[in-house]
Amino acid sequence: MNCTTKKNSILHRSSRRLIRTALPIASIGVGSDKCATAQSSLSVIQPLSSVPNHPSLPHLSTHNAPIDNTVDTRNDSLSNSVGNNPLTGNSHFLKPRQPLNLGSFNVRTLMQVGQQACLALTMNSLKIDVCCLSETRIQDSSNVIQLTAPGISTRYILRTSGDEAARAVGQRGVGIVLTDKAEAALLDWIPVNSRLCAVRLQGSVGVRKDSCVKRNLFVISAYAPTDCSSDLQKDEFYDALATLVRSSKGSDIVVLAGDFNAQVGKLSVSEACLGGRCALPAERTDNGDRLLQFCADNRLFLSSTNFRHSSRRTATWRSNSTGTFSQIDHIAVSYRWRSSVQNCRSYWSTYVESDHALVLMRLSLQLHGHRRKPQTGLAVQRLCDPDVCTRYEQKLAHELGSTENSNVDEHWSHIKQAMHVAAGFACGPGSVVHQRHWISQESLSIMEQKRQLSNRKEMNKMRRKLQRQVTRSLKKDRENWWVNVAEEMEVAAASGNSQRLFKLIRDTSGRRTQVSEAICNRNGEPIHNKQQRLDRWAEYFKEQFSWPHASVITPVSTTVTPWVVSLEPPSEVEVESCIRLLRRGKAAGPDELPPVLFKLGGEALIKSLTALLRDIWKEERIPLIWSESLIVPIFKKGIRNDCSNYRGISLIPIVTKVLASILLHRLTPARERNVREQQAGFRPGRGCIDQIFTLRRLLEKRHTHRRPTIMLFLDLKGAFDSVDRTSLFSTLHRKGMPQKFVNLLRSLYSHTSGRVRVYGELSGRFETTSGVR
């Protein structure tokens, strides 16, 4: 690069604040390269007010600032680095890093069959990390969609934004797709409406040289009204966009991408602070004026106009009626970081059927974030093999041995460690199971033929023909997939495999079981930050399991005759029978030990657990880790962004269920002798169906005799979560439960705590002081 002596360029002034009235005016500086640089070879600045046909920029600065006389002759190939660019202000902040591919794509719709898989194939072929989508026609901002396709191992996560007005007409809708790398760096998800949404990604560029604080990447996906829309609609869009940009932090690197329906044409020399001069030649529209004015107001630079490419690689939209090409999709970045963009061009050869091209920008910026490993656990399904089961039992017996432990905590820690080692030895670690995709290889081959077609006008007939073939083939694949699923359901139902049957029903029902990505705080305001959403869930469930204590507690009577119950420590027979009652398909607790590991542990495990439970029986104290639980929110009904519409399922260690089962089996005979006949709940052999039968018979008799019937139904809010534990133990003792059992139950509820598992992460630990587990 040949550089001349620099004059007082704004990037070399003492002030780093780039305000609108001090933006440098850049020239093209195009030698043999394709890039319109942000440097200037002019010595005089023309004020923007003197530019003809530019009515939307009357208030920009007309100051004649000194400029730089440097000419840049660098090559703009995708592999070039920008580390040596002298125009990068404070270039030591941003050093050459692994490029980030950021795209903008109007997909027209993601509701058609196979369109989401085509999008995943397109992102995989172009190695796109972040993609801003327009016209998704999906309006749900609380859901996360996994984009998959045959032969792709990369996971793509789609978040969409919409509103009720767009949902009613089935139009608009925006979204952002992230790869695993970008998902690991996600800090905020900000859905606005059917035209705007944004994400904040954690970057790796320091705010200052000696600061550990990093700059974040603030990516906005936008879909502007068409040029023929009313001024009111356009004003509302740009007002909302300005509000969204102002919500970014001062240290954020802002990237604005989307379909703006704006033709800006070739920018003049005095407009070089807003973009390059390599845009597709066209008459500037009103939307183009508005976009340039917005860039000037918010110090944004149109990178989509800054690189010299052929007309085919510059145009972004093809008219279906006239066949003409226009550049209406754009990507803009913060002005200070304009030279970090290595390239920006359009791609027409994609798998997605759209009249828009995919605009791809390569940014020299590395995201920061640790990728979460998928929660695979142990491959316990292999225990169905008798040989694997035998290896597990033998290894567990060897690991347990005859180690002496001083207290119950160490004893349980030894058993848990032995079970993990034996299960890992026999079963091995679990793996992520990728479901077989429903798209056939025949459909993929037709899609590839269509993608390889030239973009010339004479190939339109062949392109439409192949698109019809793709649609027919995808519909056929979808129908075959449904037939295969129905056959699998029939086989599962005939063989009595209810677990497999209901899993197939859940997977194909379309019902969403995941937690909303747009949770609100207690004041009803949406929470965009992921960590703040985790904290909100912890706050909500802490309130749910920490109700105020009872004001009045009935004193314990000393004249109550205790129940006749065996007070002997648990025997091996009791432990074995309670383990046998465990259900295999239940989820593991915080110790990550599923029930099947207890059921197949053999005689050695039964002996070790019996010894542990005998010590607990004697000391009336359980291991401290047994007091922890994992809380999983399950949606009930109502608005999905309200925490109160979710029910918390507590996952406790399986071994505590064994102890509770022993206590229950000993207390059940005595309880049955003292309970009222009208009580049908929580009794063996009886249930709600008995009460319904009694009520129906009663109504029939009353109707026959023409007698009025008055019924009262009570639904207690948080009935089991609000139980005062002190009153509970006092009531149990007053009913006649032996003190030994009361003490053991009290130990199960002492120092209890919980953590919420949501969004693939765990919240902070909090205490729970009320309710039953």
Is 197 or 508 the better-scoring residue by pLDDT? 197
CB 641 within 8 A of CB 520: yes
Alpha carbon distance, N-terminus to C-terminus of the chain: 71
Q: How far apart are the C-alpha atoms of 70 and 76, rounded to whole Å?
A: 17
The angle subtended at Cα 674 by Cα 672 and Cα 680, nearest 5°, is 55
Structure tokens at 680: 């049908």
Output phi, psi for 157, to 5 deg. -110, 120
Is 65 or 278 the better-scoring residue by pLDDT? 278
Confidence of residue 61 (pLDDT cuts 50, 70, 90): very low
Report whether pLDDT(1) > 60.
Answer: no
664-690 pLDDT, tens digit per residue, is 999 998 888 888 888 888 888 888 888
Q: Are residues 331 and 472 in the same domain?
A: no
pLDDT at 373: 60
Report whether pLDDT(735) > 80.
Answer: yes
pLDDT at 513: 66
Confidence of residue 598 (pLDDT cuts 50, 70, 90): very high
Structure tokens at 481: 């997939």
Q: Are residues 222 and 339 in the same domain?
A: yes
624-653 pLDDT, tens digit per residue, is 999 999 999 999 888 889 999 999 999 999
CB 96 within 8 A of CB 83: yes
Report whether pLDDT(580) > 90.
Answer: yes
CB 240 within 8 A of CB 115: no
pLDDT at 511: 65
Amino acid making up residue 743: N
Q: In the chain, pLDDT over 90 holds for what percent of residues?
A: 56
Q: Are residues 683 and 603 in the same domain?
A: yes
Q: How far apart are the C-alpha atoms of 298 and 307, rounded to whole Å?
A: 22
In a domain, 129, yes or no: yes
Q: Are residues 539 and 505 in the same domain?
A: no
Q: Are residues 503 and 579 in the same domain?
A: no
- Structural domain of residue 733, as residue ranges? 530-767
Q: In the chain, pLDDT over 70 holds for what percent of residues?
A: 83
Confidence of residue 209 (pLDDT cuts 50, 70, 90): low
Q: Are residues 492 and 543 in the same domain?
A: no
Report whether pLDDT(65) > 70.
Answer: no
Domain finish residue from 363, 394, 415: 363
Report whether pLDDT(35) > 50.
Answer: no
In a domain, 421, yes or no: no
97-111 pLDDT, tens digit per residue, is 578 999 999 999 999
User: Which are the contacts of 625, defined by CB distance < 8 A and separation ≥ 6?
Assistant: 409, 412, 590, 591, 653
Report whether pLDDT(52) > 60.
Answer: no
pLDDT at 673: 85
- What are the b/e assignments for 113-138, b being 16+ CB within 10 Å? ebbbbbbbbbbbeeebbbbbbbbbbb
pLDDT at 187: 92
pLDDT at 547: 86
pLDDT at 575: 94
pLDDT at 374: 57
pLDDT at 435: 67
In a domain, 98, yes or no: yes
pLDDT at 550: 77
Domain finish residue from 344, 363, 382: 363
Instruction: Tell me the β-bridge partners of 366.
Output: none
Using CB atoms within 10 A of its CB, is residue 253 exposed (0-12), middle (13-18) or buried (19+)? buried
Report whether pLDDT(528) > 50.
Answer: yes
Q: Are residues 38 and 141 in the same domain?
A: yes
In a domain, 519, yes or no: no
Range ranked top by mean pLDDT from 6-15, 325-334, 422-431, 583-592 = 325-334
pLDDT at 548: 84
Q: How far apart are the C-alpha atoms of 383 and 405, rounded to whole Å?
A: 29
Least trusted range by pLDDT, from 168-172, 186-190, 228-232, 381-385: 381-385
Output phi, psi for 424, to 5 deg. -65, -35
Q: How far apart are the C-alpha atoms of 297 and 107, rounded to whole Å?
A: 29
300-302 and 329-334: which strand pairing? Answer: antiparallel
- What are the b/e assignments for 186-197, b being 16+ CB within 10 Å? bbbbbbbbbbbb
In a domain, 429, yes or no: no
Q: Are residues 147 and 80 in the same domain?
A: yes
Mean pLDDT across 1-30: 35
* Three-class DSSP category at 542: helix
Report whether pLDDT(44) > 70.
Answer: no
196-206 and 186-191: which strand pairing? Answer: antiparallel
pLDDT at 71: 33
Q: Are residues 71 and 164 in the same domain?
A: yes
Query: What is the number of structural domains in the chain?
Result: 3
186-191 and 253-259: which strand pairing? Answer: unpaired
Instruction: Tell me the β-bridge partners of 175.
Output: 133, 160
Q: How far apart are the C-alpha atoms of 643 and 360, rounded to whole Å?
A: 38
Q: How far apart are the C-alpha atoms of 119 and 147, rounded to whole Å?
A: 8
Confidence of residue 205 (pLDDT cuts 50, 70, 90): confident
pLDDT at 338: 92
159-173 pLDDT, tens digit per residue, is 999 999 999 999 999
Domain finish residue from 475, 509, 543: 509
pLDDT at 366: 67
Q: How far apart are the C-alpha atoms of 109 and 351, rounded to whole Å?
A: 13
pLDDT at 556: 59
pLDDT at 55: 36
Report whether pLDDT(192) > 80.
Answer: yes
428-462 pLDDT, tens digit per residue, is 876 666 667 889 999 999 999 999 888 777 888 89
Report whether pLDDT(31) > 70.
Answer: no
pLDDT at 348: 93
Strand ranges (DSSP E) for 83-126? Answer: 100-106
In a domain, 212, yes or no: yes
221-262 pLDDT, tens digit per residue, is 999 999 999 999 999 999 999 999 999 998 899 999 999 999
Mean pLDDT across 355-376: 78
* Three-class DSSP category at 133: strand
Q: How far apart are the C-alpha atoms of 161 and 138, rounded to whole Å?
A: 7
Confidence of residue 294 (pLDDT cuts 50, 70, 90): very high
Instruction: Tell me the β-bridge partners of 556.
Output: none
pLDDT at 682: 81
Q: Are residues 122 and 211 in the same domain?
A: yes
Residue 363: Cβ within 10 Å count: 25
In a domain, 384, yes or no: no
* Rg value, the chain, Cα: 33
In a domain, 432, yes or no: no
pLDDT at 63: 35
325-326 and 628-635: which strand pairing? Answer: unpaired
CB 122 within 8 A of CB 451: no
Q: Are residues 469 and 589 in the same domain?
A: no
Confidence of residue 9 (pLDDT cuts 50, 70, 90): very low
Helix segments in 496-568, DSSP class H:
498-509, 530-544
DSSP string, 609-642: HHHHHHHHHHHT---GGGGEEEEEEEE-SS-TT-
Please provide the average confidence, as pLDDT, over all residues in the chain. 83
* Three-class DSSP category at 546: coil
Distances (CA, A) of 434 to 121, 148, 182, 761: 16, 9, 21, 21
Mean pLDDT across 702-712: 91
pLDDT at 485: 93
Output phi, psi for 485, to 5 deg. -65, -40
Q: Are residues 69 and 124 in the same domain?
A: yes
Using CB atoms within 10 A of its CB, is residue 512 exposed (0-12), middle (13-18) or buried (19+)? middle
